Amino acid sequence: MSRRTICRALAVTLALAGVTAVAGPTPALAEPIPEAPGHRLVDAYAGAPAVAQPLPGTQPPQHPYLAANGRSGMHADGWGSATYPWSGPLGAHPQVGSERMALLGGECANVTFDRAGRIVTVCGTFSGFLVKLLDPHTLATLAEYRLPQRPSTVEAVTRLDFSRIFKDTSGGAYSYLDNEDRLVLADSRQHIIRLVHRQKPDGSWEFTVSDDWDLTGQVPHDCVTWTNLHPSGTCDPVTSVMPDWQGRIWWVTRQGRIGTVDPATGTIRSVRLADEEIQNSFSVAADGVSIVSDHALYEFTAAADGTPAVVWRQTYDRGTGTKPGSVNQGSGTTPDIFGDGGRYVAITDNADDRMHVLVYRRSADVPAERRLVCEIPVFAAGASTTDNSLISWGNSLVVENNYGYENITSLTFGRSVVGGVTRIDVRRDGSGCDTAWESAERSPSVVPKLSTGNGLVYLYTKDPNSLGIDAWYLTAVDFRTGRTRWKQLVGTGIGYDNNWAPITVGPDGTAYVGVFNGLAAVRDGS
């Protein structure tokens, strides 16, 4: 069967899902994600359990308006380090579980944890995004809140082009849990909402909206809906939200708008980057906000009235087109703030031949000609890109290669990507950077994570298979050496394709992986 045929078949399936969405979606099924044929023909486990070797160093500072580090969002903390202070699974008799969130789709794109360890997540189905409260052990749904359907889903159904869904980072995927266990996100109506979850007298749980800020006065909002299939105006989806250290909620849009909301007064301020696009999230430190567009990296602060103000701007090589494995023609990374006191910020570029890891000095008083610390080429010529954030710890960065992955049809029938994972270290004196190690692991699209509690980098890998079996593994790599320690089979088939979601290491040591059909979990056994 050709890839084009597969795409058309899935598009028809989406159309049927769209009809269901109009008529009223079927409730999510409380059952494991089904395995595709062949799961008994591949290795269930490889390697050997690791011994925890905690990493020396200092955790990123705790953001005063985010949940505790490791619990707050996709990139784990305000600096976007993608690290967890506790230990993840060591690979000792791993136990694997999963929860199917919908008949079609259901991917849980962002996993956070409240103070009691319950999971607060956003899961994308083809009938709309769902905010869910889950039991961290059974993955059972305790409460659910339905968000408005995204325009990209309507477009996928009406135009039979499901790629629009997979390249859409708006609608709630980049949400965060705040310091009072409230989930904050921007929905597809260009509203920022704050959700509270609470237990009712009968013991059941519910979500309620505690705050709602309407951005439509600042953001074009003539978007495709089931009742507005041919809009004549402009639609600018909100991509991500994050608080600064003063409590303002910052937001960015796909078409380059950057704004703030003052939660106390409701005052909204914004600016626009002309002819620039923002598809990634952003990171915040006590002294500023780091944002990357498809043209440049920015450092922002807020004026006294909340209006975003540029501190500095640094262009990078954006290449001549969008690579397979990238959402747009530009950096695919959320900026990483790292180093002593948040000294550095790192992204990747989109250079044509080989992608580079770029490290910059963040300080406002650095002369423009000294801002760039290094640009290190990574992966093979003509086959390197990433659309996921870097891992940062101390003066080290870890980057994976996503070249060749576009959506859930990319790797069917046993195919894989060229792969590669690399660690880059900034020299102690800041004079440049060096490659510490390179791994050949193929991690097609996951947001990788590091447990500083045990020294393991977690990837979600898929190797080529001559029998056409699509087997997906949670893979642990030694942060110090780059050596693969163990691999645990999570599942087989499209339902277990990660499709850009993150790995999240829970406070109890479980590694959760958002997959196309829901959420999977791997934890050590007894």
- The better pLDDT of the pair 140, 21 is held by 140
Distance CA 505, CA 524 (A): 12
pLDDT at residue 162, rounded to an integer: 67
**pLDDT band with cut points at 50, 70 and 90 for residue 127:** confident
- The confidence band for 103, taking pLDDT boundaries of 50, 70 and 90, is confident
pLDDT in tens, 414-423: 999 999 999 9
> What integer pLDDT is reported at residue 7 of this predicted model?
37
Domain count along the chain: 1
Q: How far apart are CA 433 and CA 526, in angstroms?
A: 42
Cα 333 to Cα 45, 388, 394, 401, distances in angstroms: 31, 5, 18, 12
Say which CATH number the domain at 314 has. Answer: 2.130.10.10
DSSP collapsed to 3 states, 65-111: CECCCCCCECCCCCCCCCEECCCCCCCCCCEEEEEECCCCEEEEEEE
Which helix (H) or strand (E) segment is 142 a member of?
Answer: strand 141-146
Q: How far is it, in rounded angstroms, from Cα 24 to Cα 20? A: 6
User: Could you tell me which residues are beta bridge partners of residue 206?
Assistant: 198
Q: Which of 8-12, 140-144, 253-257, 517-521 has the lowest mean pLDDT?
A: 8-12
**Strand locations in 394-453, DSSP E?**
396-400, 421-426, 433-439, 449-451
| pLDDT of residue 395 exceeding 70 | yes
Question: Is 145:129 a contact under the CB 8 Å cutoff?
Answer: no
Q: What is the dihedral of CA 317, 323, 327, 328, to 10 degrees?
A: 40
Q: Tell me the C-alpha distance between 329 and 355, whole Å.
A: 12
Rounded to an integer, the average pLDDT of 480-507 is: 97
Distances (CA, A) of 307 to 152, 192, 348: 30, 17, 28
The rounded distance, in Å, linking the Cα atoms of 416 and 473 is 13
Among 462, 449, 455, CA closest to 501: 449
Residue 32: left (phi > 0), alpha (psi -120 to 50), or beta?
beta
Specify the pTM: 0.93
Q: What is the mean pLDDT of residues 298-327?
A: 96
pLDDT higher than threshold 90 for residue 157: no
Which of 256, 100, 115 has its CA nearest to residue 178? Answer: 115
Residue 298 belongs to what domain range? 3-523
What is the residue-averaged pLDDT of the chain? 92
Q: Are 31 and 431 in contact (CB under 8 A)?
A: no
Q: What is the C-alpha separation between 9 and 19, in angstroms, rounded? A: 16
